Each structure stands twice: as structure tokens, then as C-alpha cells.
Amino acid sequence: MTPGPAIDAVQGDTIIVNVINNLVMENVAIHWHGIRQIGTQWSDGTDGVTQCATMPGDTFTYKFVVDRAGTYMYHSHYGMQRESGLYGIIRVSLPNRQPEPFPFPYDYDRDIILGDWYHHNPYEQPRTCLRYLFSGLENLSFQIENLYIYSGETFSVLVNATQDPTRNYWATIYVVSRKPATPDGLAIFNYYPNHFHKLPPTVPPPGPLWNDTDSRINQSLAIKALQGHVESPPKTSDRVIVLLNTQNTIDGKYRWSLNNVSHSLPTTPYLIALKENMSDVFDQTPPPENYNPDYDIFNVANNTNATSSTSIYRLIFNSTVDIILQNANTHEE
């Protein structure tokens, strides 16, 4: 079944999930997206980082505490399984019927997962570049017509059904930066007693333009952390790491890179290697913490080869680290 079964819990609950891998030819690992895994890193489900994947016929038990209310998702963290439908919803409610932080009460609660619908087996199309998109929950305290959702993000949207009840209405899922001919995802807001197959009298909304950056920035600026929920970071940091993301090549193949280094996983998961002090498992030389200041995104040089490495950033416990994601031009005049 896809999506997978929903998991319902109360804030503070301990969730135990027994995953039985009945796949014939593939391993599996389940990642619990948004769950902080404080003290249970081995249950994070990131294959090659915190655990070995579960082999066909084997069973792995995940056990973790959900310390924050909200709607989250779980998904496979192995191969193409996530894109093929191995994902589902985790709903964590507030304890003792505490009121939710919404501006007005609601009558119905529906979870929607956004993803691609594939018309061919992904293993039959090795040259296809795939992108996936999910939606879930976060708190918005403002009105909005279009909601930008980036990969892995979750939002909660309250829909006030105050429109003309004699008709139905369109909802359009538009993926930015895809080819113009790519079909949009369509859904219908069904007003009873209208039949749910009754098409709205208008054409589906086209959505914002792909280069409409102002509306995306305005949405980001309008989202504020729930007061008292997130602690402000210290004004000074113990360490600064600046990351420049680029698309480079290694052996003639495109590889995404950070500071000209493309990450590759070791044969033994990092968590196991660090716990067992296995220094020969991954590259002990730390990756660069800054980029080439002369790099010009508007005039990229030829032969932009990157290096592949299994190295990792090691952080001191309880230290404050500034991580800056540089996605603009870095060329210094």
C-alpha cells in the first residue's frame, strides 16, 4: 500500500516499529523525517550513516521518543524506494487535550503527501533525473493563496470553506523549474452536496511564475518561530563553516559537491565506526570549511572536477557552530 499506514501518537510517547523486509532483492532503511532522535541516533534510519540497511528477510526494530507535537513523515532511505511510494504520515498530538496553536478551531483534519506519480518503473529509466516533494505540517499565522513547499518541508494550512457552496474548486500542485509541458497535480475541494466528480466551472489556476522570487521570499519572511518554542542562537559562535554548493564532474559524471567535494558513503556506517573507533573506515582528513573566493557562478570554468571523499565534519558537543549555505555569486572583484 502507498502511502504506508499512518502512525498516531501523543507528545512524549515512545514509538516502537518493527520493520520486516519482505523485498526479494533490496535492502531497506526507514527514516523518521523531523523526529529529533535525541539519544536514539541508531533509529534515525539513514543507511550508511547511523545504521546498516535491513537485508531481505531480516527485521529491524526502531524505538524512539516523539518529543514534539506535529505532523511528520517517514520514508525509505534506500535507493529508489522513497520515490516508489514507501512513505507515510506520523501524527503527534498534544497531551491532555491541550489546545492547538491555531487562530480558530477546525472541523476536519486531512493529511496530504505530495509526490511524483511515475508512469514507468524507475529502474527502467536510468537516464531520468528525479525530484520528489512532500508536504505535512508547520505553523503559519497569515493568509496566503500560494504555498511554496520545498523538498522535505511540512506545513499546516487552515482552509476556511466560505465560498459559494453550489460548486467545487480547484487546487493545483505546480512544480517549479520543470518543463512547461509537465502536467500539474490537480485536486478538487468538494462542497457537499455536489458530486466529487463535478468539475469546477473555471480552469485550474496556473500558479506563480517560476521566476517569481519575491513571493517566495515574502513567504519565508512571514514565517516566525512559535514564541517560547525555539531558543535564540548565541550571538557568537565557536566555529564557522561556509558551504558552497556546485554541480561538478567526477570521471565524466555530474556530481553535486560542497566546497568542491562530493560526499560518498563508507562501507561501514559512521555511527558504528565512531563507536568502535574504526579509524580506517572513512577519510580522517576533515573536509574544507570554506570555498574558493574567486569562484564565479556566472562564468564557470571548464573542467570543474570535484573530488570524492567519505570525510565528515566533527563537532564538539554543546558548541555553537555557524553553518552558512552560500548559494549566490562568490566572485570578488
What pLDDT digit, counting tens, does each position of 232-253 carry? 888 899 999 999 888 888 888 8
Bridge partner list, 61: 18
Q: Which of 52-61, 104-113, 185-194 has the highest mean pLDDT?
A: 52-61
pLDDT(107) > 50: yes
Whole-Å CA distances, 197 to 105, 111, 170, 192: 29, 21, 12, 12
Domain of residue 286: give its range.
239-326
Residue 248 lies in a domain: yes
Count of domains forming the chain: 1
Residue 131 lies in a domain: no
Residue 296 lies in a domain: yes
pLDDT at residue number 302: 62
171-175: average pLDDT: 81
Report the range of poorest mean pLDDT among 19-33, 49-63, 90-104, 129-143.
129-143
pLDDT(64) > 90: yes
- Higher-confidence position of 311 and 247: 311
Residue 20 lies in a domain: no
Q: Are 187 and 159 in contact (CB under 8 A)?
A: no
pLDDT(229) > 80: no
Q: What DSSP string describes 236-279? A: S-SEEEEEEEEEEEETTEEEEEETTEEE---SS-HHHHHHTT-T
Whole-Å CA distances, 176 to 82, 116, 130, 184, 221: 20, 13, 13, 10, 20
Q: What is the residue whose three cell numbers read 559524471?
A: 253
Question: pLDDT by residue (tens digit) across 109-157?
Answer: 788 887 766 666 544 443 333 323 333 333 444 566 788 887 778 877 7
Residue 204 lies in a domain: no
Residue 221 lies in a domain: no
Residue 266 lies in a domain: yes
pLDDT at residue number 125: 41
Provide the pLDDT confidence category of residue 329 given band limits of 50, 70 and 90: low
What are the φ/ψ torsions at residue 215 (nearest 5 degrees)?
-65, -35
Task: Report DSSP state, residue 287.
Answer: P
> Any idea how long the chain is?
333
16-44: average pLDDT: 91
Q: What is the CATH number of the domain that holds 260?
A: 2.60.40.420
- Higher-confidence position of 82 and 39: 39
Residue 234 lies in a domain: no
Task: Tell me the whole-structure pTM to 2 decimals.
Answer: 0.76
> Residues near 127 by Cβ (< 8 Å), separated by ≥ 6?
none
Which run of H or of E encompasses 188? strand 185-189
